[in-house]
Structure 1
Amino acid sequence: MTAETSLIHELPSVTVRRTVVSAMANNVYLITHRQSGAQVLIDAADDAPAIRRMLQDSAADSAATAKLLLVAITHRHWDHVRALAGIAGGIPTAAGREDAAGIESESGVAVSRQLEHGDVLETDGITLHAVHLRGHTAGSIAYILADGGTTLIFSGDSLFPGGVGNTESDPRRFASLLADVEERLFGAYSDDAVVLPGHGDPTTLGAERPSLPEWRERGW
């Protein structure tokens, strides 16, 4: 069931839309390049008809004919890939190398490009930088989009308002995820960077930064 479809960012080169799907309130994001019409979908989480409606709505976001060219997956968990088979249909996919086998097992869709930390995805004007965040899953990837002085971080389930993602009470996984989030997100991007998580509302690195010591102390 779709909770919401909306245009959430209008940047100089791209627009970003979001639809919220499933009982787990998964966020599905759509990036559209204003000039080329190229599109990247972040997490075909569930409800293919709702995603297609968002794709239809996005036709007005570009001067050219909009065309979905890539599905970028944040991680392998089932609730983030349930609509992948219904949406991908020959469209290239990208995900973290360590999660690729799990994504294929969950969705039946092979990952076209298996990402390492620091890889760059270029899609007809849309540039995404892959940040490997180890802990929620072994291959979780955040995608960074910078445009016109705005930085968007599509963080999947690795960073939320109020903490990092679930590491199932495993202290090693938690330590790994927190270290990666601190170094690769908080240490690399400014406080005004917008975090667009896999569930729930957006936040900024600046809003969350003061809480890092608290997260470390509580262990989740």
Structure 2
Amino acid sequence: MTAYTGDVTTGGPTALRVLDEVEIRKVSVGPMDNDAYLVTCRRGGSQLLVDAAADPDRLLELVREGNETARLDVVVTTHRHRDHLAALTSVVAATGAQVAAGAPDADAITELTGTSVTRVLHDGDLVVVGHLTLEAVALRGHTPGSVALVYREPEHVTCPGAVAGRAHVFTGDSLFPGGVRRTTTPDDFTSLYDDVTARLFDRFDDATWVYPGHGRDTTLGAERPHLAQWRDRGW
């Protein structure tokens, strides 16, 4: 099996990471090179999709890669921007999946897509998918309701490449290699910077893997030395 790097291209193959409890699949879709992630419970086949961003046919193919019955339990939309939800209606219609999103963005997502958000998420809420539990982390600033999802590996691991207790964070557009995402006002930047610092960097160690909404993956360890630079530049 090819080692997971997180490097994907639009129209290209799926990047697959296999851990003890979970398989994580990453693809790039749409004209804005959005990353979408499928999280599959290895024990029972339950699945969660992070951001039905674009190209529903490709995303449904991704769902089938994870589970040949095309089971999809929930779609988590990380925030309300159109490029992260263009395929939401089609994916939900085809799979019957529930839709979860940060509470302040939920109404806007419903209005933009015509698809109801069936679960609103607040900071610290748990999302259970089969035998997996992920934590919602509110990262306010890029949009009021932006959320990340955190999965932790178990304390005892056997798969090559697994790390006991390591966190995996799906950050949407709130954290990328090189900084936080665009904000529209200084107050929004301060809010996002403070949340990312307190709720991610202060809580999780350097091995924490970051899966952003666009582009390449990173780790908190790779980004931590630059926090003061991000604060000083204001973006």
Shorter-chain TM-score bucket reads: over 0.9
Residue type of the alignment partner of 1:180: D
Q: Distance in 1 between matches of 2:233 and 2:123?
A: 27
Q: After superposition, where does 1:1-220 map in structure 2 within 5 Å? A: 2-59=10-67, 67-89=71-93, 90-148=96-154, 149=164, 150-168=166-184, 170-220=185-235
More strand by share: 1
Q: Distance in 2 between matches of 1:203 and 1:8?
A: 16
Total equivalences in the alignment? 215
Shift of 1:105: 1.4
Task: Provide the alpha-carbon RMSD of the alignment.
Answer: 1.4
**Cα shift readout 1:196-216 (whole Å, capped 9, x = no counterpart):** 000000000000000000000
Q: Distance in 2 between matches of 1:162 and 1:49?
A: 32
Unaligned runs of 5+ in 1: none
Residue type of the alignment partner of 1:129: E
Q: Give me the identity figure in percent.
A: 44
Consecutive aligned runs of 4 or more in structure 1 exceeding 3 Å deviation:
none
Shift of 1:56: 2.0
Residue type of the alignment partner of 2:18: E
Q: Distance in 1 between matches of 2:130 and 2:35?
A: 24
Residue type of the alignment partner of 2:170: F
Aligned partners of 1:81 and 1:107 also within 8 Å = yes
Q: Distance in 2 between matches of 1:75 and 1:142?
A: 9
Residue type of the alignment partner of 1:156: G
Q: TM-score, normalised by structure 2?
A: 0.88
Q: TM-score, normalised by structure 1?
A: 0.94
Residue type of the alignment partner of 1:5: P
Q: Distance in 2 between matches of 1:59 and 1:112?
A: 23
Shift of 1:3: 2.8
Unaligned runs of 5+ in 2: 1-8, 155-163
**Cα shift readout 1:118-160 (whole Å, capped 9, x = no counterpart):** 0001121121100000100000000001123231100000000
